[in-house]
Amino acid sequence: MNDDEDQSLRAAVEGELRLLDPAIRASPALAAELLDPEFVEFGASGRRWDRVSILTAIAPGPDTPPDRIATSDMTATLMAPGIVHVTYTSDHNGRRARRSSLWRRSAAGWRLYFHQGTLTDNT
């Protein structure tokens, strides 16, 4: 793996972890910087989200502190130049899901283009 490939993998993983950071999730402006304008998510609930709807949904209410989301088994694979696939398991207050994200590099930097969550049991 060359330095550019390694840097691409690191950028996608760092972006994914930033999106899970309660401080980033609490700020629609900061979270928006990490989402591609064409962002789409198929959520663990089965709902389809776009960039606007997900930014509204992840922001906590004024009296609700943002929750921490734990991750495990995170891996990143370079699919093509400028495209990285990140997978991991999330645990949000006992609700576990397998996660899959596609990150793409643009003139604005690395942005999350597609995300899918699938609920799983606790094993």
| Residues contacting residue 18 through CB under 8 Å, at least 6 positions apart | 24, 34
Q: How far is CA 83 from the centre of its chain?
A: 14
Place 8 in a pLDDT band, splitting at 50, 70 and 90.
Answer: very high
Number of structural domains in the chain? 1
Q: Give the Cα separation of 6 and 123 in Å (integer).
A: 31
Determine which of 21-35, 52-66, 71-85 has the lowest per-residue pLDDT on average: 52-66
**Per-residue model confidence (pLDDT) at position 68:** 81
- Proportion of the chain above pLDDT 70, given as a percent: 93
Domain residue limits at 83: 3-119
Task: Annotate 106-118 with DSSP letters as a single string.
Answer: ETTEEEEEEEEEE
The lowest-confidence range among 33-37, 39-43, 53-57 is 53-57
User: Under 8 Å CB-to-CB from 37, ≥6 apart: which residues?
Assistant: 51, 111
88: domain CATH number is 3.10.450.50
- Are residues 104 and 36 in contact, defined by beta-carbon separation less than 8 angstroms? yes
Q: Read off the pLDDT of residues 73-89 as tens digits, 9 standing for 90 and up.
A: 999 999 999 999 999 99
DSSP 8-state symbol, 66:
P
